[in-house]
Amino acid sequence: MISDRVMEGVQQAPHRSLFNALGFTEEERRKPLIGIVSSYNEIVPGHMNLDKITEAVKLAVAEAGGMPVVVPAIAVCDGIAMGHIGMKYSLVTRDLIADSTECLAKAHAFDGMVCIPNCDKNVPGLLMAAARVNIPTVFVSGGPMMAGRVDGHKTSLSSMFEAVGTFSAGKISEAKLCEYEEKTCPTCGSCSGMYTANSMNCLTEAIGMGLPGNGTIPAVYSARIRLAKKAGYAVMNLIEKNICPRDIMTKEAFMNAMAMDMALGCSTNTMLHLPAIAHEAGVELNMEVANEVSSKTPNLCHLAPAGPTYMEDLNEAGGVLAVMAELVKKNLINTDLMTVTGKTIKENLEGVVNLNPEVIRPIENPYMQSGGIAVLKGNIAPDTGVVKKSAVVPEMMVHEGPARVFDCEEDAIAAILGGKIVAGDVVVIRYEGPKGGPGMREMLNPTSAIAGMGLGSTVALITDGRFSGASRGASIGHVSPEAAVGGPIALIEEGDIISIDIPNNSLNVKVSDEELAKRKEKWQPREPKVNTGYLARYRELVTSGNRGAVLEIPR
């Protein structure tokens, strides 16, 4: 066992004395050392219940013959961090989580891990760490929040952000805004739509690293506690069979995840996280493949914000496995791959059926014949831009309009709420990319303001930043190269005509190559917005959005 490095032999007597100081017995020290990486905290609603998940895992690991030790992982609540400097610290935590978990696992010679994440960067960060450390590992998340209810309709966090714009437009009263505030987020858990957290938890299941139900069982259900216990048993089974993350997270598994991404209509943030996780697993996942997968993978789900269904509805319909079962009908999933159950996907799918064709469309009757995400290219985005096309209204799939240019998120929000953006406009928010932000902030505030002001079907937004999974509309993010490195988005001027053609995967500004070249000659790099602390170090190491914003040592 790996833990023999700290348990066995004369030279390890000092190590054993420290385990004695922890209260562990000699009998416990002979068992596999299992790190339970818990993201429990009291600031993130999706994590406030993880203490119960952690205790359930701990109990099961001990019962199954392991020695559980709980260690921490940090997390940021994107909703609380939204719209101020805090959002610069969201994406960057993904790599802090991966690094710190690697440090804990390697320094203490863990034989296996159970990772307990829930929210946006927490899930991919721990998946990156699992791929690096490559010891038997199982994921069990905290589960999604239940939907809220206002006026008899289900609501989620995107409803709350859009209500702010609706109030600003004078369409609802302050009392109604307060009612949304009181009722929108009724329980603990990751926010109830197909936002980034739930997208990544579902894809963790699809990629084989989470047990069936991991992506969809609500946080407040006792079934989530039972799943946590199963995760504790499962990691001991993986140790016995010597099944490690890189045995599961293969190229084929990432292609399965990409297909599920398209079918579920996941957040565009998955286009940052899947390449980053694949990178750590030694797999190259080029974003060019997204359109190839999308072209043959129907979109089967329209969960909030794309439609009126929520994670609890997906769970009742059969969850991630039921969506997989639909895709298997057209051989869009490789079912021979190993999972953390110790069984193949094919074995996991035995007896699985779609229990609600209104929530999970049968593959013969999809919402769209192609997937929920599109990767765009053109003279604005020579590398890539990304849009959640399943959340775009039909009339905005092709759009032309004048550029309204802003060099930060705050200026754009002020213009939107001040009534300065009108139907037909294309809002351009730049210098918010991985380096420019730094930290690639999410643009949920401006997209929600556009929707709340009643402009969601007439105004587009493009940015070198990114979008929350709660965003909807013609919201195109991850434009690469970003403005901070002189990408063409930095050359757009007020009033330039922007042409968006999502069906044909194109994003262009109607300016000649000669004119763009002249503008490029005059362009000067901006002074960095942050020069100290972690964000400054992050800015120096981070790559572009089309590469997953991974960190690389400059050469």
The C-alpha atoms of residue 377 and residue 22 are separated, in whole angstroms, by 56
Query: For the residues of 478-525, what is the DSSP string, one character each?
Result: EEES-GGGT-GGGG--TTPEEEEETTTTEEEES--HHHHHHHHHH--P
CA distances from 370 to 62, 256, 264, 296, 443 (A): 46, 15, 11, 6, 25
For 309, the 3-state DSSP assignment is strand
Closest C-alpha to 400, from 481, 316, 460:
460
CA 168 to chain centroid: 29
Closest C-alpha to 53, from 232, 263, 183, 207:
232
Show the 3-state SS of 60-72: HHHHCCCEEEEEE
Amino acid at 56: A
Which stretches of 119-221 are DSSP H helices? Answer: 122-133, 157-168, 174-183, 196-206
Catalytic residue positions? 468
For 354, the 3-state DSSP assignment is coil
The answer to whether residues 395 and 474 touch, using CB atoms and an 8 Å cutoff, is no
The C-alpha atoms of residue 139 and residue 150 are separated, in whole angstroms, by 34
Q: Which single residue is written with the structure tokens 């858990």?
A: 189
Closest C-alpha to 293, from 330, 339, 252, 262:
262
The C-alpha atoms of residue 48 and residue 77 are separated, in whole angstroms, by 11
The bridge status of strand 384-387 relative to strand 148-150 is unpaired
For 284, the 3-state DSSP assignment is coil
Closest C-alpha to 374, from 361, 362, 359, 392:
392
- Phi, psi (deg, nearest 5) at residue 129: -65, -40
The C-alpha atoms of residue 62 and residue 245 are separated, in whole angstroms, by 22
For 91, the 3-state DSSP assignment is helix
Q: How many Cα neighbours within 13 Å face the side chain of 161?
A: 25
